[in-house]
Amino acid sequence: MNRILLSVLLMCNLHYVFGANILRVAVSQNVGDMNPQGYNLNQLYAQNMIYEGLVKTDHKGNIIPSLAQSWEVKDSGKSYIFHLRKNVVFSNGEPFDAQAVVKNFHSILKNKVRHSWSALVMTIDNVVALDNYTIKLTLYHPYIATLNELALVRPFRFIAPSMIPNDLDLAKNNPKKPIGTGPYMLTDTKIGISDTFSKNPRYWDKDKYNGIYYDTIITKVIIDPNAKLVALKTKQVDMIYGSDSIPVDIFHNIAKTKEFQSFVSPPVFTTFLIINPSNKTLQNKNMREAIALGIDKAKIMESVYYDYQKEALFLFNQNIPYTKVANYIPLSYNRNKALKILEQMGYTRNSDGYFYKDNQRLQIQLHFIANNPTQKSIATIIQAQLKDIGIFLELIPNEVTIYRKKQTQGQFELCFSQTWGVPYEPFTFINSMRHHGHADYMAQKALPEKGIIDGAIENLIKSPYDIHADSAKTRQILSKRTQDFLDMLYNTQIYIPLTYDTNKVVARFGIKGIAPDVRAFEIPFWEFYE
Measured CA to CA in angstroms, residue 473 lies from 142, 145, 325 at distances of: 18, 18, 18
Buried b (16+ CB within 10 A) or exposed e, 430-462: bbbbbeeebbbbbbbeebeebeebeebbeebbb
158-167 pLDDT tens trace: 999 999 999 9
How far apart are alpha carbons 394 and 286 in whole angstroms?
20
Burial label, 205 (beta-carbon count in 10 A; 0-12, 13-18, 19+)? middle
pLDDT at 463: 84
Are 507 and 523 in contact, with CB atoms under 8 Å apart? Answer: no
Lowest mean pLDDT among 2-6, 171-175, 334-338: 2-6
How far apart are alpha carbons 465 and 73 in whole angstroms?
10
How far apart are alpha carbons 326 and 318 in whole angstroms?
12
Instruction: Tell me the pLDDT band of 309, cut-offs 50, 70 and 90.
Output: very high
Residue 262 has pLDDT above 90, yes or no: yes
pLDDT at 20: 64
Residue 98 has pLDDT above 90, yes or no: yes
Residue closest to 151 by CA, chosen among 75, 76, 56, 228: 56
Residue 207 has pLDDT above 90, yes or no: no
* Across 322-346, average pLDDT: 96
How does DSSP classify residue 112? T
Percentage of the chain modeled with pLDDT above 70: 96
| Helix or strand run (H / E) with residue 342 | helix 335-344
How far apart are alpha carbons 39 and 171 in whole angstroms?
9
Residue closest to 508 by CA, chosen among 6, 9, 13, 2: 13
Residue 240 has pLDDT above 60, yes or no: yes
169-199 pLDDT tens trace: 998 889 999 999 999 999 999 999 999 999 9
Lowest mean pLDDT among 162-171, 241-250, 509-518: 241-250
Residue 472 has pLDDT above 90, yes or no: no
CA 359, 364, 370, 374 torsion-angle sign: negative
Residue 250 has pLDDT above 60, yes or no: yes
371-408 pLDDT tens trace: 998 999 999 999 999 999 999 999 999 999 999 999 99
Residue closest to 382 by CA, chosen among 295, 310, 301: 295
Residue closest to 414 by CA, chosen among 450, 363, 349: 363
Instruction: Tell me the pLDDT band of 16, cut-offs 50, 70 and 90.
Output: very low
Instruction: Tell me the pLDDT band of 246, cut-offs 50, 70 and 90.
Output: confident
pTM reported for the whole predicted model:
0.90
Neighbours of 427 (CB within 10 A): 24
* Across 490-517, average pLDDT: 97
Are 484 and 219 in contact, with CB atoms under 8 Å apart? Answer: no
How far apart are alpha carbons 311 and 316 in whole angstroms?
12
Instruction: Tell me the pLDDT band of 208, cut-offs 50, 70 and 90.
Output: confident
Between 285-293 and 335-344, two packed helices, what is the crossing angle to 10 degrees? Answer: 160
In sequence order, which residues have a C-beta less than 8 Å from that of residue 463 and are 6 or more positions away? 77, 142, 144, 477, 478, 481
Q: Can you say whether residue 201 is alpha, beta or left, with left for phi > 0 and alpha for psi between -120 and 50 degrees? A: alpha
Are 457 and 138 in contact, with CB atoms under 8 Å apart? Answer: no
Are 440 and 432 in contact, with CB atoms under 8 Å apart? Answer: yes
* Across 151-161, average pLDDT: 96
pLDDT at 11: 39
Q: How many CA atoms lie within 13 A of 306 on its CB side?
A: 13
pLDDT at 465: 72
Residue 233 has pLDDT above 80, yes or no: yes
Instruction: Tell me the pLDDT band of 12, cut-offs 50, 70 and 90.
Output: very low
Neighbours of 176 (CB within 10 A): 9
pLDDT, mean over the chain: 92
Instruction: Tell me the pLDDT band of 292, cut-offs 50, 70 and 90.
Output: very high
Residue 105 has pLDDT above 70, yes or no: yes
